[in-house]
Structure 1
Amino acid sequence: MDSGAIRRRAGLGLAVLTGSGLLALAVPGTAQAADSTCSGREVKSLPFTTGTVHVYKRDGYVCALTTPDQPGRKQFMSVTVQARGNRPVTDKGRFTYHAGPVTVHAGHRCVRVSGAVGSGSVSSGWILC
């Protein structure tokens, strides 16, 4: 193999490593931007002692997610959305940055939203009627 081919391969290897390094730096930033995981506009924010439930609406769909006040460590989180007349949809478990998003088709019906982080929780009652 001549020296030109070696330089080209070394350059390609360096480009791949640089690209993967930049991608690794970009991924944590997108994971922390939890508010962008629901489409639509934020119509309600339900703060509580250990976090906040964000509620979004778009074209008859309601989406919600719970974010902790102190992200970065795994802790119990949950988010639930229920359109009136339907069963609730829940996402719960041990998460680092957010629980959800959970999306339901509500049309023009009221919805009930709840969320929890650790020992704190909130429930909205019927909203967006």
Structure 2
Amino acid sequence: MDSGGMRRRLAVGLAVLTASGLLAVVAPGDAQAATSCSGRKVRTLSFSTGDVHVYKRRGYVCAVTLPERPGIKQYMSVSVQARGNRPVVDEGRYFRRAGPVTVHAGHRCVWVKGRVGRGSVSSGWILC
């Protein structure tokens, strides 16, 4: 094989590695990386304009609201309240998500709320 053919193969291999590396950074394979909550997913609260994903780890509860149609700047909110405490809230006009918000619940119940545009969800006391 001549040196020109070897250079071409090397260039193609380098291009493939670079492209696959960029795809891994731009489109992470697991939803946890997209939500920024750690722990295991314990609930998904669905509503007409989105979902609230709830995670739990070592007494901490984390939630994030994801819209049905990401990429459009719209009002979103997420809140988590451990029984006996005030809610922790993130709200505003976002493109991709509201949150994450995390509270220390221990073994107490939590109340999770989420909103995207006009649609919303309220869990009631859960994870007791």
Question: Where on the TM-score scale, by shorter chain, does this alignment land: which range?
Answer: 0.7 to 0.9
Please, which runs of 5 or more residues in structure 1 have no aligned partner?
Answer: 1-18
1:7-18 to 2 correspondences below 5 Å: none
CA distance in 1, matches of 2:83, 2:103: 11
Match in the other structure for 2:27: 29
Pairwise CA RMSD: 2.1
TM (norm. structure 1) is 0.76
1:124 has 2:91 as partner: no
Tell me how many residue pairs correspond in the alignment.
Answer: 109
TM (norm. structure 2) is 0.76
- CA deviations on 1:54-112 (whole Å, 9 max, x unpaired) are 00000000000000010011110000000000000000001111000000000000000
Match in the other structure for 1:90: 89
- CA deviations on 1:22-76 (whole Å, 9 max, x unpaired) are 76x766535xx56441000000000000000000000000000000010011110
CA distance in 2, matches of 1:26, 1:94: 27
Please, which runs of 5 or more residues in structure 2 have no aligned partner?
Answer: 1-17
CA distance in 1, matches of 2:47, 2:35: 20
Match in the other structure for 2:9: none
